Structure 1
Amino acid sequence: MRVGVVGVGHLGSIHARIWDEIPDVELVGVLDSDRPRGEAVAARHQTTFFTDLERLAEAVDIVSIATPTPLHLTTAIPFLESGKSVLIEKPLASTLQEADEILRLAASSNSVLQVGHVERFNPCIRAALPHIQNPIFIECDRIHPFSLRSTEVSVVVDLMIHDIDIALHLADDEVESIDAFGCPVLSPTEDLATSRFSFVGGATAVVKTSRVAFQKSRKVRIFCPSSYISLDLVEGTGFKISLDSDYDPGDYLDEHGRIIAPEGAEAFLAKHMHQEPIEVVYREPLRSELEAFLAAARGQRPPAVSGIQGRRAIAAAETVIEKIRKHRQRLSEPPRPSEGIA
């Protein structure tokens, strides 16, 4: 397979490095609007620096697109029109209209399209999947140190969209409603955001994100009917707490509906709840993502994150931002005179 990378900034240069390492793949070229940077990456991997998208599209079978989000559609067009397999970094596009056009082009040329929601390949998430059954409550909590990158866009599309996709993936259900709150702190757009997703089947997901912290923290907690899973994505660890399958609270209630535990709460918990570690084997998430994309391009599996799933994440993120700004507008309005209590 001949592969190219468009956009070799921080993330795109990692794409180039991994593609250069994967066997049976030839990194035939890279393209970047910053010529010195693009030429440096090309030289590092002994490949060609391209200046024309159409020429690169002619030279490759598959491509990674890691340009700024507003350029995703225009960058993808020559590759999709020529039927090449395309991986587009998250988010799929700046707007739903652009996402729809990308999906239309991919469908019309039968191109394989995958979206780069790399957290799907986080070793903790992958290790936890076999333990998750019928989740009823999902909590994603991401705290990130402040940086000068992407402050022109809301934290919702900068960082929260990672966890929105995870929540949608784990719930595996249609969203019934979304509510959200947030505010700017240092940026002109939201730096803090909290969103709540209610799903048709009754599950709930709460996604919280901040980009104005001093330390990084990324936690995911999943509550299932008889188990609880806690993941620390920074430390790369996780554990599962399971409730005895035959536990019935009715067996331990007094006449007032209170649990009776003569042995004490700690012993009661130890008797009915059991904790076990989740074995997490580290593997570079982006490498796993690119290998999955390569397998999809070869027809060996469906795309790990389809264009439709990428669009769904954008739609959810847009709704979150809309809800946040409606709440903020309400807060900025002068209070209405109290009408008293009738």
Structure 2
Amino acid sequence: MNKPPLRAGLVGLGAMGRHHARVLRALDGVDLVAVADPGGDAYGALGGETLVSTVEELLAHKLDYAVVACPTAYHEEAALALAEAGVAALIEKPLAHDIPAAQRVVEAFESRGLVAAVGHIERYNPALQSMRTRLEAGELGDVFQVATRRQGPFPNRIADVGVVKDLATHDLDLTGFVTGAQYRSVAARTAHRSGRPHEDLVTVLGELDSGVIANHLVNWLSPLKERVSVVTGERGCFVADTLTADLTFFANGSTRTEWDAVSAFRGVSEGDMTRYAIPKREPLTVEHEVFRDAVEGKADAGIVTLRQGLRAVIVAEAVLTSARTGATVSAGSE
């Protein structure tokens, strides 16, 4: 006898919520039964689902789980209501607007033994997943540095947080994901160039507990949209473009040079370049499949845990503290 499909709900039907609705509607083993958004269906994303205004009304539909895709400022309120009702939740990143709120969300779900995850979608990007597998296999040797660039025009949908918590949390999380290390300290500078209350540019220099150096350039000020992660190690470097899901390896050269001015330099030289052919599935679809499997009780589903989401918020707060004080700040622990 086939199991009935999981009953899913969605909180928020904005620019990201509409994509969650699209994926949920097509997800095997899941029925999207209702959506909550006090602003209605601004993007015309609803199918046959019921539209309600509040999380309380959403809970009346006897959900197995819900996706929280409302603005960051409301994550805590929505998540705590779901936890109180015993409903599993996939919460968009960042987990919450600050550390205390994120800690309350973690405690609410852990204390009840509920499945919950954070939508750090870059972990499901094929290029980064392939990079992580290759790093774990030792293909790069010792890792020296992680450098990321994430820039583009300002997204009008964002009003409640700045570029650090909205965009830089991607890079802060993916750095730990691909290296298996955590931030020890960060030094950062931010800028406000567009007249908005929150920062729209940040540069971060971090040190991981493995000794790896990380640096991140993130802004909402560029007409160029860029999402690039470069990991450099003893055998060369990996370059992941998460917009195209391409992964390229640039090997250190092994060909002897007879050009004296170059051969005298005790560094590396250019070697072969390999662009890997990797399967490319939509990261949001993979993220939803993984969470569905976790709700169904499948072991090692691969979700991003609430504590991992909390960790990203902690590092983001350290970045903002460093930018405010001008000091290098410990990335700390929970």
Give the Cα separation in 1 of the matches to 2:242 and 2:310: 25
CA radius of gyration, larger in = 1
- Among 149, 162, 169, the alignment partner of 2:157 is 149
Give the Cα separation in 2 of the matches to 1:232 and 1:121: 13
Q: Pick closer, same or farther for the CA change 1:322–1:270 going to 2, 3 Å.
A: closer
- Among 239, 258, 263, the alignment partner of 1:262 is 258
Residue 70 of structure 1 corresponds to which residue in structure 2? 73
Give the Cα separation in 2 of the matches to 1:101 and 1:272: 50
Residue 336 of structure 1 corresponds to which residue in structure 2? none
Alignment of 1:118 with 2:114, yes or no, is no
Give the Cα separation in 2 of the matches to 1:271 and 1:178: 31
Deviations 1:248-275 (A, max 9, x none): xxxx9xxxxxxx7327769x99998332
**Counterpart residue identity of residue 311, structure 2:** R
SS in 1 for 2:172: helix
Q: Pick closer, same or farther for the CA change 1:157–1:17 going to 2, 3 Å.
A: same
Alignment of 1:48 with 2:56, yes or no, is no
Task: Map 1:302-341; keep pairs closer than 5 Å.
Answer: 302-327=301-326
Give the Cα separation in 1 of the matches to 2:57 and 2:198: 38
Q: Pick closer, same or farther for the CA change 1:153–1:24 going to 2, 3 Å.
A: closer
Q: Pick closer, same or farther for the CA change 1:270–1:157 going to 2, 3 Å.
A: closer
Q: Pick closer, same or farther for the CA change 1:52–1:148 going to 2, 3 Å.
A: closer
Residue 334 of structure 1 corresponds to which residue in structure 2? none
Give the Cα separation in 1 of the matches to 2:149 and 2:189: 14
Give the Cα separation in 1 of the matches to 2:166 and 2:84: 28
- Among 257, 274, 277, the alignment partner of 2:275 is 277
Residue 12 of structure 2 corresponds to which residue in structure 1? 7
Task: Map 1:1-342; keep pairs closer than 5 Å.
Answer: 1-35=6-40, 37=42, 40-41=44-45, 44-58=46-60, 59-132=62-135, 133=138, 134-186=142-194, 187-243=196-252, 261-262=257-258, 273-300=271-298, 301-327=300-326
Q: Pick closer, same or farther for the CA change 1:19–1:235 going to 2, 3 Å.
A: closer
Shift of residue 282 of structure 1? 2.2
Moved more, 230-239 or 96-105: 230-239
Residue 332 of structure 2 corresponds to which residue in structure 1? none
Give the Cα separation in 2 of the matches to 1:181 and 1:36: 38
Give the Cα separation in 1 of the matches to 2:73 and 2:220: 21
Give the Cα separation in 2 of the matches to 1:36 and 1:198: 44
**Counterpart residue identity of residue 72, structure 2:** T
Gaps of 5+ in 1: 253-259, 329-342
Gaps of 5+ in 2: 1-5, 328-334
Alignment check: 8 A CA contact 2:73 2:160 kept: no
Shift of residue 212 of structure 1? 0.6
Shift of residue 297 of structure 1? 1.0
SS in 2 for 1:160: helix
Give the Cα separation in 2 of the matches to 1:157 and 1:240: 30
Structure having the larger proportion of residues in helix: 1
**Counterpart residue identity of residue 306, structure 1:** T
Alignment check: 8 A CA contact 1:62 1:84 kept: yes
SS in 1 for 2:78: helix
Q: Pick closer, same or farther for the CA change 1:12–1:139 going to 2, 3 Å.
A: same
SS in 1 for 2:251: strand
Alignment check: 8 A CA contact 2:149 2:228 kept: yes
Give the Cα separation in 1 of the matches to 2:225 and 2:182: 31
**Counterpart residue identity of residue 137, structure 1:** Q
Shift of residue 95 of structure 1? 1.1
Q: Pick closer, same or farther for the CA change 1:293–1:191 going to 2, 3 Å.
A: same
Give the Cα separation in 2 of the matches to 1:55 and 1:191: 36
**Counterpart residue identity of residue 234, structure 1:** L
**Counterpart residue identity of residue 183, structure 2:** V
**Counterpart residue identity of residue 199, structure 1:** L
- TM norm structure 1: 0.83
Moved more, 67-76 or 305-314: 67-76
Give the Cα separation in 1 of the matches to 2:17 and 2:292: 16
Give the Cα separation in 1 of the matches to 2:113 and 2:154: 41
SS in 1 for 2:312: helix
- TM norm structure 2: 0.85
